[in-house]
Amino acid sequence: MASLREEVRLRHGGSCRRQEAAADSESWTPIHASLDMAEQRTMIGSTVPNLSRFHPLLRLPARLVARVMLYLLQLITVHQREYNQSMVKAVRGLVRRMRKAHEGRALLAEQIELLEQRCGERDAQLALIESRLAALQSRQDALEKQASCDPTDRPLREAA
């Protein structure tokens, strides 16, 4: 009965693990989306903005002023772009490592579960062996008791 319960628990646990894996991959999606958005913003100061809020006649002179400002501010924005790109790259690397560590932890949890199952099976086998040993000992005690009470065996024991 215990082995059946254990098997049911393992089968139920297996489906839970599959659900956890699906939820796990979904939990990484917002992180990757945020990193993608940050990566799009890393190139700050490299292109002139669209300036769609301006009237079409004002848009051309505004873009010209923006282009001049970008050229003058390149001294600052180049370093900022490099910093932004390196930070996004570093965070992506950390996320990749975290994900691998999380997957490794899940594998270890499965291995621990398997070992616990094996220990349970060994405990059941050990309990069965102990019960058989106890039955054999009680049988031996009964036979010894019967032999000590049997009057026909007394002379044989005394002679020995």
* From 23-27, 32-36, 38-42, the region with the lowest mean pLDDT: 23-27
* C-alpha to C-alpha distance for 84 and 90, rounded to whole angstroms: 10
| Confidence category of residue 160, pLDDT binned at 50, 70, 90 | low
Q: What is the mean pLDDT of residues 146-153?
A: 71
- The more confident residue out of 5 and 126 is 126
Chain Cα centroid distance, residue 43: 35
- pLDDT at residue 76, as a whole number: 82
E-only strand ranges, the chain: none
**What b-and-e string marks burial along 60-77, b requiring 16 or more CB atoms within 10 Å of the CB?**
eeeeeeeeeeeeeeeeeb
Ordered by start, the domain boundaries in the chain are: 26-112
111 with 55: CB under 8 angstroms?
no
| Confidence category of residue 135, pLDDT binned at 50, 70, 90 | very high
pTM of the model: 0.51
